[in-house]
Amino acid sequence: MVAIVVISGIGLIGLAAVLTGLASPLISSVQEVVAAIEWPQWLSVTPPDTTPPAVSNVDVSDVTQTSAVITWETHEPATSQIMACDPDGICTWTEQDTTLATTHSVSLTGLKPNTTYHYTVISMDAGENEGTSEGEFPTPGGADTTNPVISGVDAFAITDSSATISWKTDENATSQMEYGTTDAYGLTTPLDEKLTQNHSVALSSLQPDTTYHFIVKSKDSSGNEATYSATAFQTHAPVSPAPTPAVAEKDKPAPDFSLQTIEGEAISLSKFRGRLVMLNFRTIESDIRAKELYSIQTVRNEWSPDELVILAVHFRDSATDVRSFVDGKGFTFRLVIDPLGEVAGPNCYDVTSIPTTFFIDREGIIRAVKKGRFDSARRIEDILESM
Sketch out the chain's domains with CATH numbers: 55-138 (2.60.40.10), 150-234 (2.60.40.10), 258-386 (3.40.30.10)
Q: What are phi and psi of 3, to 5 degrees?
A: -60, -40
Distance CA 242, CA 251 (A): 23
- H-run or E-run covering 196: strand 192-203
pLDDT at residue number 58: 96
Q: For 221-278, what is the HEC assignment? A: CCCCEEEEEEEEEECCCCCCCCCCCCCCCCCCECCCCEEEECCCCEEEHHHHCCCEEE
As to burial, measured by CB atoms within 10 angstroms (0-12 exposed, 13-18 middle, 19+ buried), residue 381 is middle
Answer for the pair 298, 310: CB distance below 8 angstroms, yes or no.
no
The tens-digit pLDDT sequence of the chain (387 residues) is 333 333 344 444 444 444 445 445 555 555 565 556 565 555 555 678 899 999 999 999 999 888 999 999 999 999 999 999 999 999 999 999 999 999 999 999 999 988 999 999 999 999 999 999 999 999 988 778 889 999 999 999 898 899 999 999 999 999 999 999 998 999 999 999 999 999 999 999 999 999 999 999 999 988 999 999 877 999 988 755 545 456 889 999 999 999 999 998 899 999 999 999 999 999 999 888 889 999 999 999 999 999 999 999 999 899 999 999 999 999 999 999 999 899 999 989 999 999 999 999 999 999 999 999 999 999 999 999 998
pLDDT at residue number 237: 84
Distance CA 265, CA 207 (A): 23
